[in-house]
Structure 1
Amino acid sequence: MKIESIGNEALKTAKQVYVSLGPSGREAVTENQFGDTALRADVEAEEAVLAVLKAHHLPITILSEEHGIVHLSKNPKYFGMLDGLDGSGEYLEGAGGRYGTMLGIYQGIDPHYMDYIYGGIMIHSQGGLYYARKGCGCFLLEDGEEQSIKCSATKSLDKGTVLCADLNYDRVYGTNILTTRIQRLSGYNVQVTRSFAAHFADLVSGKADCVIGFIRKEDLEIASAFPLITEAGGVIFDIDGNSFGKQKYHELRTKKYRIFIASCGAELAEAVRQILVEENS
C-alpha cells in the first residue's frame, strides 16, 4: 500500500475516534511532554494514527505531541510528525470551532523539509481530509469526492488579502512573541483563531493567502503542513527570509519561537515580512 493511502487511512481512523468519543473527548487525562493538559481526544486520536501505521508495518519513527518519540521499527526508513488534535482551545469551546489531526511523513530519519513524502490534515469539526503526496499535488477528500486544490494567486498585500495569525500562545502564556508584530498589520484583514490545522487548510485551498505564526512544540504542525503547502504552490519563510525547504527538520524544530510566514507565493510573503520586521511601523 502506498504511503499516502496509509496516511489517509490513519487520519480517517482518527476522525472515527473523534466522533465516537463525543463530549468525553474533552476530558483532561494527562500532562504531555510540554507541560500542557492533554485531552482524551488528543491522546486517543494519536493512538489511532499510530495503530494504523503499525498495522501496515511502516518502518517509521514518529514524534508526536502527546506520546513523544515512538519507534514503530528497529530500522526506520521514515520520520513522521503527529499532532493528535491541533486547535484544542477551539475544540473545548464546542460547536463552531475548527480543529483537526495533522500528520507528516518524510524520507529518512534526519530529513530536510523538501524530503517530504506525505502530509495530511483531517478537519474533524467540519469534515474534510486535506492531503498531499510529493510531486502529485494537493487534494481535498470530502463526502466521498476528491478534488485538486491549490493556493490562491494573490501577489500583493492590500485590504482584501486574507491573513491568518495564531496568537493563542501569547494569550495563554502571557508572552509577546507575535502579538506586537501582528499589530503592525492593523488595517489589513487579519483573522485570528487558535488552530494551525484550520489556518493551513484554508491556505492550501485558496481561502486564505498567508499564515503567520512561530515554531513551538517541536514544529509538529508546520512540518505536517509543509507538504500540502508546497504541493499547493505555496511557500514558507522564516522572519529573516530563509526558505524552510533547504533546512533540516531536526535543526529548525529546536529554534523555538522562530517566526514563520507561510504564503501562497514568495512576493506576498516578502511584503508581509517587510512589515513584520519594521521597527518603527
Structure 2
Amino acid sequence: MQPINVLKEASKLVYENVKGLAGTKAAAKDHGVGAGGDISRKIDVVAEKTVLDYLKKIKFECIVLGEECGRVELSKNPKGFVIMDAIDGSANAVRGIPFFCCSLAFATEDKLSSVTAGVVTDLSTGDMYWAARGRGAYCNSKRIHVHKEKPVYKIVGINVSGAKPSLIKRIQPLFENSNHARHLGANALELALFSRGLIDIYIDLREKIRVTDMAAGYLIAREAGGKILDKNLENLDSDLSYDTRLSFIAAANDELLKEILQQIKL
C-alpha cells in the first residue's frame, strides 16, 4: 500500500474514534507528559493508539515519531518515518472548540524535505487535506491552491501563543496595518486552510514549533503552490528530531511576502 493511502486510512480511523470524545470530561484526563514535553490527554492517547494499532495491523514497515509516544520502531528494516501529531490543537479538542486535527506525514529520510506524503484531517468536519509529492494538494477529492489574487480581506495567520514580549513588539505592525490577524489554535489545520486559499500568509516566529506539528502541512502547502521559508528566508528544512524547534513563514506569493516582511523588518 502506498504511504499516502496508509495515512488516509489511519486518519479516517482517528476521526471515527475521537469525534464523540472532544469536549467531554474524559477527553481531558491526564496521561502524564508525552515525548514532546506537553501533558498527554486521553484524546491524544486514543488518537495515537488508533494510528499505531493500524500501522501494526497492516505491518507497515516504518519508524513512528509521535507527539506523545515518542519514537516507535515497527520494523528492523523501515522504509521511512511516519511523523504523527494525532491530535493537533489538543486544547481546542479538550474544550470542544471545533478546530483541531490529525496530522500524519511520511518521510523517506531524517529530513523535513524528504516528506513525500501528508494528510491533515479536520476532526470536527471530517474534511481531509492531503498531498503526495508531485501530485498536487487536495481537500477530499478537490484540487486546492493557495490564494494568488489580491485578496478582498488580507488574512494573516500569526501564532503568538507563548511568544516573548520582544517578538510581540516586533510583529505589532501586522496588527496595525490593513491585515486581519488570526490564530486558531492548530498549526497543521491552519496550514491546510492556507493551502486552500483561505489564509494568505501564516507566520510562526516563536522558535517553538515541532516537526510533528507541521510535517504534513508543510508538504500540502508546497504542493498547493505556497512558499514555506525559515527565519532566514531560505526554503524551510530541518531534521526530524524532537529537540528541533522551527520558525517559518508560509506565503501565497512573492508580492505578499515582500509586503509583510517590510512591516516586520525581517
With normalisation by structure 2, the TM-score equals: 0.89
Does 2:154 match 1:161? Answer: yes
Gapped regions of structure 1 (runs ≥ 5)? none
Residue 223 of structure 1 is matched in structure 2 by 215
Give the equivalent residue in structure 2 for 1:232.
Answer: 224
Amino acid across the alignment from 2:239: Y
> What is aligned with 1:267?
255
Structure-2 change in CA distance of 1:81 and 1:274 (3 Å) = farther
1:74 match: 76
Task: Tell me: CA distance 1:112–1:33, structure 2 relative to 1, closer, same or farther (3 Å).
Answer: closer
**Paired residues for 1:161-200 under 5 Å:** 161-170=154-163, 175-176=164-165, 178-185=167-174, 186-187=176-177, 188-200=179-191
Rounded Cα–Cα distance in structure 2 between residues aligned with 1:31 and 1:46: 14
SS of 2:50's equivalent in the other structure is: helix
Contact 2:27 2:94 in 1 (8 A): no
Is the Cα–Cα contact under 8 Å of residues 209 and 247 in structure 2 kept in the other structure?
A: no
Report the Cα distance in structure 2 between the residues aligned to 1:198 and 1:161, rounded to whole angstroms.
18
How many equivalent residue pairs?
261
User: Given that residues 34 and 40 in structure 2 are in contact (C-alpha distance below 8 angstroms), is that contact kept between their aligned partners in structure 1?
Assistant: yes
Distance across 2 between alignment mates of 1:70 and 1:136: 29
Give the conservation status (yes or no) of the 8 Å contact 1:119–1:224: yes
Aligned pairs for 1:116-155 (under 5 A) are: 116-141=115-140, 146-154=141-149
Contact 1:98 1:123 in 2 (8 A): yes
Q: 1:207-262 CA deviation, whole Å, 9 max, x = no partner?
A: 11111114435321222211101111111011221111xx34347x7553x43101
Does the CA-based 8 Å contact 2:112-2:215 persist in structure 1? no
Measure how far apart 1:181 and its partner are.
Answer: 3.0
1:29-44 mapped onto 2 (5 Å cutoff): 29-44=31-46
Q: Is the 8 A contact 1:119 1:228 kept in 2?
A: yes
Q: Distance in 1 between matches of 2:225 and 2:125?
A: 24
Equivalent pair of 1:149/1:205 in contact (CA under 8 Å) = yes
TM-score, length of structure 1 as denominator length: 0.84
C-alpha distance in structure 1 between counterparts of 2:226 and 2:138, whole Å: 14
RMSD, aligned α-carbons: 2.2
Deviations 1:4-52 (A, max 9, x none): 1111000011111112535222322222134322111111101111222
CA, structure 1 residues 255+48, in 2 after alignment: closer, same or farther (shift >3 Å)?
closer
Letter in 1 for 2:169: T
Partner of 1:209: 200
Aligned-pair identity in percent equals 25
Structure 2, unmatched stretches of 5+, are none
Q: Give the alignment of 1:4-19 within 5 angstroms.
A: 4-19=4-19
Rounded to whole Å, the distance in 1 between the matches of 2:249 and 2:224 is 16
Contact 1:59 1:75 in 2 (8 A): yes
CA distance in 2, matches of 1:122, 1:250: 21
Corresponding residue of 1:103: 104
Give a deviation string over 1:64-94, Cα, whole Å, max 9, x none: 1100111111111212211121112222332
Over residues 81-138 of structure 1, what are the superposed CA-to-partner deviations in whole Å (9 max), with x where a residue is unaligned?
A: 111211122223324x301110111113x2351x221011111123201111111111
Question: Bigger CA drift: 117-126 or 85-94?
Answer: 85-94
Q: Distance in 1 between matches of 2:263 and 2:232?
A: 12
Distance, in Å, in 1 between the alignment partners of 2:180 and 2:76 is 49
After superposition, the Cα gap between the structure-2 partners of 1:176 and 1:46, relative to the gap in structure 1 and judged at 3 Å, is farther
